[in-house]
Chain A
C-alpha cells in the first residue's frame, strides 16, 4: 500500500466557480499514473465518500494527457457565503492524502 501523499506529485483543491470544489491528483511519471489507475481506487465513489456528497453530484475525470485524476464536487457553503471556511477552496485536499493505493498488490 502507498498513501497518495507518498506517491503523487500534486494533490490540490481549488474552486471551480463559487459552488464547486475541484480536487486534482497528478503523478509525475506515466508508469505510476497507470499503476494507480489500474487499482481503480481513485473513482467517483471515493470522492462522494470523502466529501460527503451524492455520487450523482461527483464529476470525475481521468485525464491521461496530464497524468491526472480530477473530481469536482458541490460545496456545502458557496465561496464567501456566511460560514464558508475556505473562500478559494485551496485547502480541501487533505482527506485524499491518506488514501491508500494498493499499487504493490498488482506486481
Chain B
C-alpha cells in the first residue's frame, strides 16, 4: 500500500506516467507484499510513442524582492481592512511615483494572513476575522535598491495611514523587528516548460571525458 502511494506524489495522474519514449500505464498494476521488506509489482503496461521526447524546465529573472512583515491588533482597522489596503496602494503609488519609480517598475503584493494568506482567491471561508491580522508585504522591482525603497514606502504607509474611526494615532501596525525590511534577493519565474522531440535519447546530454 505504501508503495502504491508513491504513485500519487507530485504527479498529475497516478496511472499515466509520460516518459521520454512512451507512456507507462499502471492502471492495472498489482502490488503484493512478498515479505516485510519486499513488494512484487506486476501488471504495468508500456505504450511506446512514435517520437522520443525530453522535457525542458527553466526560469528567467523577474527582478529583486524586498519584504516587510507587520500585524494589526486594532478591531476598527480589521473591520475596514479592504478599503484600507486599497488606500495604502494608492498612497504608495503616489509616493513611489514622486520618488522616481514608475508604476510599471514595481509590483506590490500584500498578503493578509488570518484572512486568505494561504489560499488567496480560492479561500472558501467568508466568516468573521480573528482578533489580529498579519501582513506580509512584498515589493518586486528591476533592482534590489528600488525594491528596498518601495518596501520602505509601503511599510511606513501601512504604519501611518488614516482610516475611519482611527484611535491608534501613533501607528497602525506592530512591526516585529528592527530593521523592519528584509532584502530577499533575486526572484525567478518558470519560463521554459516544454518538450523537445529528439532522435536519440542521449543527444541532448553529451558526455565529454577529460584526463586530469
Residues of A within 8 A of B (CB): 14-20, 22, 24, 26, 50-52, 59, 61, 63, 65-68, 70, 72, 76-83, 85-86, 91-92, 94-95
A14 lies within 8 A of B13 (CB): no
- Stretch in B113-121, B152-160, B199-207 touching the partner: B113-121
Contact B188 A80 (CB under 8 A): yes
B136 to chain A: closest residue by CB: A85
With A18-B193, A78-B189 given, is the CB distance from A66 to B5 under 8 Å? yes
Give 28 A-B contacts (CB < 8 Å), ordered by A residue.
A16-B10, A18-B190, A22-B12, A50-B124, A52-B122, A65-B4, A65-B14, A65-B29, A65-B30, A66-B5, A66-B7, A67-B1, A68-B8, A70-B8, A72-B12, A76-B120, A77-B120, A80-B187, A80-B188, A80-B190, A82-B107, A82-B140, A85-B118, A86-B118, A91-B119, A92-B118, A94-B118, A94-B119
> B150-194 interface mask toward A, CB cutoff 8 Å, 1 = contact, 0 = none?
000000000000000000000000000000000000011110010
CB distance from B163 to the nearest CB of A (A): 24
Does any Cβ of A come within 8 Å of B111's Cβ? yes
Residue-wise, chain B 84-127 has the 8 Å CB interface mask toward A (1 for contact) of 00000000000000000000000101010000011111101000
Q: Which residues of B contact A63 (CB under 8 A)?
A: 4, 7-8, 14-15
Contact A65 B31, beta carbon cutoff 8 Å: yes
Selected from B14, B107, B119, the residue in CB contact (under 8 A) with A92 is: B119
Total number of residue pairs linking A and B with CB closer than 8 Å: 97
CA of A81 to CA of B138, assembled, Å: 13
B40 contacts the other chain (CB 8 A): no
Bin chain B's interface residue count: 20 to 34
- 9 more contacts with CB within 8 A, not counting A65-B7, A66-B4, A76-B121, are A16-B11, A17-B12, A18-B190, A22-B12, A68-B8, A78-B190, A85-B111, A85-B119, A91-B118
Cβ–Cβ < 8 Å partners of A19 in chain B? 190, 193
Pair A22/B109 contact, Cβ less than 8 Å:
no
* Contact yes or no, A20 B12, CB < 8 A: yes
Nearest CB of B to A100, in Å: 14
The answer to whether A61 and B14 touch across the interface, beta carbons within 8 angstroms, is: yes
B196 contacts chain A at the CB level, 8 A cutoff: no
B33 / chain A contacts, CB cutoff of 8 Å: none
With a cutoff of 8 Å between Cβ atoms, the chain B residues found around residue A24 in the complex are: 8
In the bound assembly, the distance between CA atoms of A14 and B6 in angstroms comes to 13
B62 within 8 A of A: yes
Q: Is B9 an interface residue (CB 8 A)?
A: yes
| B122→A66 contact, CB < 8 A | no
